[in-house]
Structure 1
Amino acid sequence: MMDWHLPAVSSSASAHHISRDLFVLTYGALVAQMCKDYDNDEEINKYLDAMGYNIGVRLIEDFLANSGIKKCRSYSETVDIIAKVAFKMYLGITPSTIGGNDGGNEFSLILDKNPLVDFVEELPTGRPSLSYCNILSGVLRGALEMVHLPADVNFVQDRLKGDDVTEIGITFLRKNDDKKSRRNK
């Protein structure tokens, strides 16, 4: 007979922690199986992105219902909410943000810790162009699209590929309309 003890923080915090760990382990097994099934890294990257997109489309409802976040007034505020609230809620981390270009529509999330690679030391042999965590790009893209903020999301740097940091780039595809934003205040 096994006796399971959950951390005493709160029942919902325990459930999220267990779910996150289960997701990380399951995700690693999924990527490993895909590496066996597909020869082309680009196919795997596209599949992971599509899978993430479908998750993001559904996850945004849970996020909006449970976070209490209201409408963001700028792209930089949106990226701040993604980093400080969404990543904390679902992955237990808070990436730092680097903002914008002259147009104010390009941002980066810098992940000091990436839970998806907790059990991964390096990319599988012979898979140099595999974007192991590409599911995150899809999740962000899908969630942003559902709140009418289409964006291009991709990995700029990846520690698994020998980079110093893991960086996710977000480029909002619509020009921010400052006049409209000011009217809604």
Structure 2
Amino acid sequence: MSSSSKAQAGQALWSKMPKANAELFALTYGSLVTELVRDYEDPIEVNTQLDRIGHSIGVRCVDELLSKADLAGLGASSTMCANLRDTAEVVAKVGFRMFLGIQAEVGGFSQDQRSFSIYLQENPLSTFVELPAAGDDDYQYGAGGDDLRKLKYSNLYCGVIRGALEQVNLKVECNIVRDTLKGDELNEIRVELKEVLSDGAGDDYKEE
């Protein structure tokens, strides 16, 4: 399935999904992050907790994506995920579109084809959000005076991607490397394949 076909598939699935109010969605997520900040008083630990929550979500999302795509005759569980490049495009063009209604792009593949980037021009999680400037004393907290600039506000995405890909036997590491909340022009999630958990994913995923 071509890249444009995956984008069309994502749009078709998005049109069939129940819609939530975008502002309410952003505010609800913001409340979650705020509660974690208060509970842990450590931005690094908050990042870890967001990743864990996202992982649990991703495990469930992949089943829904594959089942709905198959019901729609899109063949997501077979031809759509023939190798890591195809899988990356399914995550970006089908997954992000289906569940969030946003356009994501894939690029930056490494020479060995084991890592890539997902680019987001828009981020529904960060609506209404502004992080403090680095070193702003008003935003230092916790015993160590940790700076909230260390917070990866949208780290939920990394967990979702990890959880989803683990369900198709791919162990990956995800990191947010660019963030519009920190002054970057776009959001970039870097994904690296660490291990194929079983032979079920096929030889195209393995190192040559």
**TM-score normalised by structure 2 residue count:** 0.74
Give me the whole-angstrom Cα distance separating, in 2, the residues matched to 1:74 and 1:159. 30
1:79 aligns with 2:88: yes
Matches within 5 A, 1:95-174: 95-122=104-131, 125-126=139-140, 127-174=148-195
Spell out, residue by residue over 1:25-51, the C-alpha distance to the aligned partner (whole angstroms, 9 max, x if none): 211111112222221111101111001
Shift of the alpha carbon at 1:14? 8.4
The two structures, once aligned, show a CA RMSD in angstroms of 2.2
Q: Distance in 1 between matches of 2:171 and 2:29?
A: 26
Partner in structure 1 of residue 54 of structure 2: 52
Deviation at 1:76, TM superposition (A): 0.7
**Does the 8 Å CA contact 2:17/2:99 hold for their aligned counterparts?**
no
Question: For each residue in 1:6-64, what CA deviation from the matched residue of structure 2 results, as whole angstroms up to 9, or x when unmatched?
Answer: xxxxxx85863216554322111111122222211111011110010011111111111
Matching residue's letter, 2:182: K
Alignment-mate amino acid for residue 73 of structure 1: A
How far apart are the structure 1 equivalents of 2:22 and 2:173?
Answer: 25
Shift of 1:161: 1.4
Could you say which residue in structure 2 is the equivalent of 1:70?
77
**Paired residues of 1:20 and 1:90 also in contact (CA < 8 A):** no
3-state secondary structure, aligned to 2:131:
coil
**Deviation at residue 134 of structure 1 after TM alignment:** 0.6
Q: Report % sequence identity.
A: 37
Cα distance change of structure 1 residues 173 and 94 upon mapping to structure 2, 3 Å threshold: same
d(CA) in 2 for partners of 1:21, 1:85: 22
User: Taking structure 1 as reference, are residues 154 and 102 closer, same or farther at Cα in structure 2, changes over 3 Å only?
Assistant: same
| TM-superposition CA deviations, 1:81-126 (whole Å, max 9, x none) | 1111100001111211113111101100110001101121335933
- 2:73 maps to what in 1? none
Structure 1 CA distance for aligned equivalents of residues 22 and 66 of structure 2: 19
Between the aligned partners of 2:67 and 2:124, the Cα distance in structure 1 is 24
| Counterpart among 94, 99, 108 of residue 90 in structure 1 | 99
Q: Say yes or no: does 1:18 pair with 2:20.
A: yes
Instruction: Tell me what 2:136 maps to.
Output: none
In the superposition, the TM-score normalised over structure 1's length comes to 0.82
Structure 2 unaligned regions, length at least 5? 1-13, 71-75, 134-138, 141-147
Structure 1 runs not aligned, ≥5 long: 1-11
Corresponding pairs, count = 168
